[in-house]
Structure 1
Amino acid sequence: MNTTILAFNNITVRSLNQVIFKDLSFEIRENENWALIGESGSGKSALLETIAGRLGVSKGHIDHTYFGSRQGVAGELVNWHKGVSFVSSRHSFRNLSNTTEFYYQQRYNSFDSDDAPTVASYLAGLNLVGHSAYWTMDRVVERLNLRDLLAEQIIKLSNGETKRLLLAAALLKNPILLLLDNPLAGLDVGRRADFNNLIAEINQSGIRIIMATSPLEIPDAITHIAVLSGGKVRTACTRAEFAIDKYQADSHVEIDEGELRELIERKPVESFEFIVRMNNVQIRYGDAVILDDVNWTIRQGERWALVGANGSGKSTLLSLINGDNPQAYANDILLFDRKRGSGESIWDIKKKIGFVSPELFQYFPSAMTCIQVVESGFYDTLGLFRPSNHKLAEIARRWMRLIGVDVDESQLFRHVSASKQRLCLLARAMVKNPPLLIFDEPCQGLDAHQQAHFKQVVNVVCKNSKASLIYVSHYHDELPEVIEQTLTLDKQNS
């Protein structure tokens, strides 16, 4: 008999007076592991949040008796959320002052980063629950390759390292259900290859898995697939019944190239000989050498891919260019034909750069609307802290229209989907036509159509301007066609 673990029967789910699901039914049984697929905004993350208890159910029936049998209680006393671990696309780390008020540059400032707990103290401080002890501290540390990171402050971790830490924390609960929201985003090729084996091991330990993912990245242990669209489960089937070709997103895009060229020509890109010139750069924190003997020259109009494994120093290297890392002053670095430390301010640097990173969306004030976030790109601030300028807001709106998020301009940034947040930040990076664009894993969380759309925008911008480009991705097929050169960071040598 295949016992029901959790079942939603004709439920209605609301958030902020908006109906997310209506008459939704979804059932998870023993020995089933589910992949949720669908275009961005289809409801995959919302379904995970509903299962995790983060969204309220206002109508319908929930069968959670299985959790009660495991917890030794019955009826309304069952707190089935305690048997669920959720690894979302957003972390909720707290600093040692017991607040979540981290700021973006904190990871690069040695004094302020000390206010963040270490990996070891963060894991040790978790209030663990669970019905088994298969996933112990030693096991998660070894299996997720965290041993060398135990003494690191969590704020200093790379995007991929943070993913591993969050998964370790979720496993330490030894949950009945493990929920994963795009778990492969931000992982390098080696980590993605190992992820398939890790999911199999998690499943063998007795934990059932529900994950939102791409139809091209479904681990072998997944037994069932649900296709979501418009807040509904359109299809639920076994893996054997799943026809992948039928559910891949349309990657064909058309953009208004005339409008794009008009926006580019509105403010011609400034001219420089050298955008970046680094000589024998070294970055260390205590005894840990992050970058060693890095030499890199970017001339105006060059388009580069920056690649390397998780933890190889890519984000640290970008922080030296973007003005976020104070160790730039101790190195021989030229930016925009001017030596670092020769009197320029951080704002002199940032006004010449359009920047996107995987973590950036977490640092904007919660009361900002999407168009305010995009308009803030003119001022290089993480949010709009002055009255909106009508002319600049209109330019921001035109970029949002080109990238496909103009319908969300009045929505609060924190209330739109993660994919729309990232698209807003891409528009924010473009608005001032900077001489350098830095895109650090810009397509995380975007579906195939959104990725193709953004790549086409980047291609047209670069073909019609002198803008230089640094593009970071762990997926070769995400790289725009305009990429001409590659810098590879090796973790053992950097």
Structure 2
Amino acid sequence: MLPVRLRVNRNYASKIKITHAMLTLPTILSLDSITVRYLNQQLFQNLSFTVNKGEHWALTGEGATDLLQTIAGKYNVTQGSVRHVYYEEYLKENPQQKLPFTPSDLVAEVMQKHNFRNLSSNATEFYYQQRYHARDSEDAPQVKTYLSEIKPATTTPAVWNYDQVVHTFRLGNLLEKELIKLSNGETKRLLVAAALLRNPSLLLLDYPLTGLDVESRASFSDVINQIIASGITVIMTSSATEIPEGITHVAVLEERQIAAAVLKEAYLPLQARNFPAVTITKQELQELFSPDPSVQCGIVVQLTDVSIKYGDKLVLDSINWRIRQGDRWALLGHNGAGKSTLLSLITGDNPQAYAKKIILFGRQRGSGESIWDIKKRIGFVSPELYQYFPDNCTCLEVVESGFYDTLGLVRPGEAANGEKARRWMKLLGMEQESDKLLKHVPVSVQRVCLLARALVKNPPLLILDEPCQGMDQHQKLYFKQLLDTICTHSSTTLVYVTHYQEEIPESVDKVLQLKEGKVISKGVVEPVEG
């Protein structure tokens, strides 16, 4: 992937460092010339990073998430030193703190993967389709239970309490809801609320804006300001162009080294209009992406008066939607509007589809086809998919797993499929990431891996749920042009889900918008000015 480019005034950056030295701000966290390893992989070498009191940092670039995990104490520091000054000061002020007590007790983190567990067995993690299966979804704790069980490790009075986080993160109408039934954005809000209940000194947020709708993203800066005002130091990973107002400093990582560490005012990521024109190898794309005409049909999807209900909650209300072969749709709506449930009826993940008037690829749902018959015709990208991939998956294994509709390789892959997966990775500019673990590459690379996984089997239907999350402006531009090229040279059908109209490809000309489970508009996409 193309690296984030900066336009940084180096002289100004030098003046900033001199000013900091003159102020002699007290340090609260220091990483001094550290080398970090995970299993047999070296993540960082001779890296230094310092956080002073009153500073709140955004980390962007290659290795940002790994640096956050290092601060959290998840990786092995083999050389250099890490000093948690905030922890030392806490012990001085609270000598009676109940032991054992470590720096991790003063750190709360919200990473991309949650660690929710089912009620029946505390060791059993959620699985991807669980939310749509009534018996299994009821095995998940409710939001109110999850929050009420969180206790701070500290003996000092808690700054954030249950009622405060419920109000701040708009969780009141979700309290009776099982965790597995939350949307991606709702889950993110819950996880940040839960982290604050631990009463941390240091809050680590891994791409917290991922999955949030426009309203939630707009209010996130206010939430960050509230967190900072409560005395908590914030360190977060972020895309280059979405850094909240309350963040004071930005550290840019290139090749797993800190290339720049500046005040946010000195950080000016290069805008997309300044990038060179995107070039796509159309011949290679046409050779790789040629959907099998034998699986194409006139009506790809037809839903007739479809409603979905869980308990007393009506999630979808009388949905009528026809998607013809070659249609390109945008599916819009706020977090919790019902988009994920609607898509699950199409992808075969929701068992309620059997009892509804749903036609997929010309056949009535439940007329003898298996879930695998459906999935082999659909390429699917969702931000939630990342949650369910095993930690030991390489990027190449993730891409190749698209041939088999599995989350990672559950058996040895086929040589021809592996070669085709590599060709897709090269076309998408990420062949150098093939052998790296998915968890260790930037979020932008993770998203492109999931896209390649959806494309490898040449599906007649592409469903892309917020595929641009975590990408910088250049990557988004390349991605949009890639999709437009695919649509120009094939009869592939596209359903594109996003919270941002400017991310919608030019080839998308129809829109379905949901609100609280109902269709509130259906028509053509309005052009974006500008």
Question: Normalization by structure 1: what TM-score?
Answer: 0.93
Distance 2:381 2:299 in 1: 21
Contact 1:249–1:448 (Cα < 8 Å) also in 2: no
Taking the TM superposition and a 5 Å limit, the aligned residue runs for 1:459-474 are 459-474=484-499
Aligned Cα RMSD in Å? 2.4
Distance 1:81 1:365 in 2: 25
Distance 2:71 2:393 in 1: 28
Residues 79-113 of structure 1, C-alpha deviation per residue, up to 9 Å, x if partnerless? 22221111111111122211243221111001111
Q: Does 1:81 align with 2:104?
A: yes
Distance 1:234 1:69 in 2: 30
Contact 2:382–2:465 (Cα < 8 Å) also in 1: yes
2:225 is aligned to 200
Contact 1:305–1:483 (Cα < 8 Å) also in 2: yes
Q: 1:247 to 1:297 in 2, by over 3 A?
A: closer
Q: 1:2 to 1:371 in 2, by over 3 A?
A: closer
Taking the TM superposition and a 5 Å limit, the aligned residue runs for 1:289-308 are 289-308=314-333
1:90 is aligned to 113
Q: Does 1:215 align with 2:237?
A: no
The DSSP-based 3-state class of the residue aligned with 1:183 is coil
1:33 is aligned to 56
- Once the two structures are TM-superposed, the CA of residue 66 in structure 1 deviates from its matched residue by 2.9
- Once the two structures are TM-superposed, the CA of residue 410 in structure 1 deviates from its matched residue by 3.6
Contact 1:373–1:424 (Cα < 8 Å) also in 2: yes
Aligned residues: 490
The DSSP-based 3-state class of the residue aligned with 1:265 is coil
Picking from 120, 136, 141, the partner of 2:161 is 136
Distance 1:225 1:85 in 2: 20
2:72 is aligned to 52
Q: 1:58 to 1:385 in 2, by over 3 A?
A: closer
1:389 is aligned to 414
The DSSP-based 3-state class of the residue aligned with 2:401 is helix
Q: Does 1:334 align with 2:354?
A: no
Contact 2:144–2:176 (Cα < 8 Å) also in 1: yes
The one-letter code matched in structure 2 to 1:5 is I
Q: Does 1:429 align with 2:454?
A: yes
1:348 is aligned to 373
The one-letter code matched in structure 2 to 1:324 is D
437-446 vs 197-206, which moves further: 437-446
2:290 is aligned to 265
271-280 vs 370-379, which moves further: 370-379
Q: 1:410 to 1:188 in 2, by over 3 A?
A: same
Identity of aligned residues (%): 52
Contact 1:269–1:466 (Cα < 8 Å) also in 2: no
Picking from 19, 23, 43, the partner of 1:20 is 43
2:8 is aligned to none
2:89 is aligned to 69
288-297 vs 117-126, which moves further: 117-126
2:388 is aligned to 363
Q: 1:55 to 1:447 in 2, by over 3 A?
A: farther
The DSSP-based 3-state class of the residue aligned with 1:347 is helix
2:27 is aligned to 4
Residues 203-260 of structure 1, C-alpha deviation per residue, up to 9 Å, x if partnerless? 1111111111133222221122222211112222223333344899957532211100
Q: 1:179 to 1:365 in 2, by over 3 A?
A: closer
Distance 1:390 1:242 in 2: 45
The DSSP-based 3-state class of the residue aligned with 2:266 is coil
The one-letter code matched in structure 2 to 1:191 is S
The one-letter code matched in structure 1 to 2:449 is C
Distance 1:160 1:238 in 2: 29
1:116 is aligned to 140
- Once the two structures are TM-superposed, the CA of residue 78 in structure 1 deviates from its matched residue by 7.0
Q: 1:424 to 1:84 in 2, by over 3 A?
A: same
The DSSP-based 3-state class of the residue aligned with 1:240 is helix
165-174 vs 338-347, which moves further: 338-347
Contact 2:291–2:459 (Cα < 8 Å) also in 1: no
1:165 is aligned to 190
- Once the two structures are TM-superposed, the CA of residue 172 in structure 1 deviates from its matched residue by 0.5
Structure 1 runs not aligned, ≥5 long: none
1:309 is aligned to 334
The DSSP-based 3-state class of the residue aligned with 1:89 is coil
Picking from 229, 254, 257, the partner of 2:254 is 229
Q: Does 1:180 align with 2:208?
A: no
Contact 1:269–1:465 (Cα < 8 Å) also in 2: no
Q: 1:414 to 1:202 in 2, by over 3 A?
A: closer
238-247 vs 95-104, which moves further: 238-247
Contact 1:215–1:248 (Cα < 8 Å) also in 2: no
- Once the two structures are TM-superposed, the CA of residue 293 in structure 1 deviates from its matched residue by 1.4
Residues 417-472 of structure 1, C-alpha deviation per residue, up to 9 Å, x if partnerless? 44433322211111111110001111222333333332222211111111000111
The one-letter code matched in structure 1 to 2:106 is G
Contact 2:63–2:442 (Cα < 8 Å) also in 1: no
The DSSP-based 3-state class of the residue aligned with 1:140 is helix
Contact 1:92–1:100 (Cα < 8 Å) also in 2: no
Picking from 412, 425, 445, the partner of 2:470 is 445
Query: Displaced runs of 4+ in structure 1, greater than 6 A?
Result: 246-249
The DSSP-based 3-state class of the residue aligned with 2:280 is coil
Residues 366-410 of structure 1, C-alpha deviation per residue, up to 9 Å, x if partnerless? 454433332232222223334422222222221122123333334
The one-letter code matched in structure 2 to 1:102 is F
1:375 is aligned to 400
Distance 1:368 1:218 in 2: 29
Residues 38-93 of structure 1, C-alpha deviation per residue, up to 9 Å, x if partnerless? 3xxx221122111111122222233323312213479x997222211111111111
Distance 2:373 2:281 in 1: 32
2:150 is aligned to 126
Contact 2:239–2:471 (Cα < 8 Å) also in 1: no
Distance 2:249 2:279 in 1: 34
Contact 2:188–2:208 (Cα < 8 Å) also in 1: yes
Distance 2:241 2:397 in 1: 35
The one-letter code matched in structure 1 to 2:147 is L
Residues 351-378 of structure 1, C-alpha deviation per residue, up to 9 Å, x if partnerless? 1111111111232344544333322322
